Amino acid sequence: MTSSTQLGSRSGRRVLVPIAFGVLGIALLLAAWQWGSIQIASESALPGVPVVTQALVALTTQGSFWAEAGTTLSIALFGWIVAAAIGVALGVLVGTSEIVHAATRVVLEFLRPIPAIVILPLAMLVLGPTTEMGVFLVIFGIMLPIAAQTAAGVESVDPVMVNTARSFGLRPGAILWRVILPGASPYIGTAMRVAAPVTLIMAVVAGMLGGAPGLGNSLTVAQIAGRNEDIFAYVIVLGCMGLLVQAAAARAERRMLHWHSSYRKES
């Protein structure tokens, strides 16, 4: 066996082994679920795998389901974009200006530990059970963590690099785009990736508790109607959506920051 063949077989095993264990974990979970529906709880309280599978197929063949899924993703995506723009801009200001840092430190530290769900009653009072309310909840939920991570990234940039760029005659705008933002980009990329699945959670919570349109609202309707099999089907769908959002965010992070040394090491 040649060395290239050995390397190919090793790389193939490195890919297949995690997949095999992942499939095994899913199979064990489904088996435990089915056993629990038979031995522990009643079929009505804990529907079995076949019943939930039928409900899942029925849901995904309805046009209204895809419209609701699109609404939930739209709320999450739009809120993520707006929160990223505001959070990065705020983080850059806090990280580069001592005056802004001193003026906003108390306010940011006060707001950061407040869960987004706490302001839901106020958002409902002002905006009502609307898409705008869901977007606002998403923005509030992730904007401050993005700003804090961006500020940390800006403050981590080597001052020698900034002073060197300044000595070469670069203007503040050029220093920001060519030195500070590239240096802080790993922090910003991590913040954006971590925030991506949180946006989906906030969009669903806005529908479940605030009545905003989307899958969260449909899940609450199924709960009120006592359709437990539909509840489990919605949970599976939302879990799959979360995995896809997380994978897409991680892939986008690697592609956009492929030039950075830390990401070249990963690839």
Residues near 210 by Cβ (< 8 Å), separated by ≥ 6?
Answer: 120, 123, 124, 129, 133, 134, 137
| pLDDT the model gives residue 266 | 54
Token readout for 68 is: 């609701």
Mean pLDDT score, 78-89:
96
Q: Does the pLDDT value for residue 7 go beyond 60?
A: no
| pLDDT the model gives residue 243 | 92
In 10 A of CB 162, how many CB atoms? Answer: 18
Give CA–CA dist 209/231, Å, rounded. 15
Q: Does the pLDDT value for residue 262 go beyond 90?
A: no
Token readout for 200 is: 């989906």
Q: Does the pLDDT value for residue 265 go beyond 80?
A: no
Q: Does the pLDDT value for residue 238 go beyond 90?
A: yes
What angle (nearest 5°) sits at the alpha carbon of residue 111, between those of residues 106 and 117?
170
Higher pLDDT, 181 or 13: 181
Token readout for 11 is: 């790389």
pLDDT band at 47, cuts 50/70/90? confident
Domains of the chain in sequence order: 51-266 (1.10.3720.10)
φ, ψ dihedrals at 132, nearest 5°: -60, -35
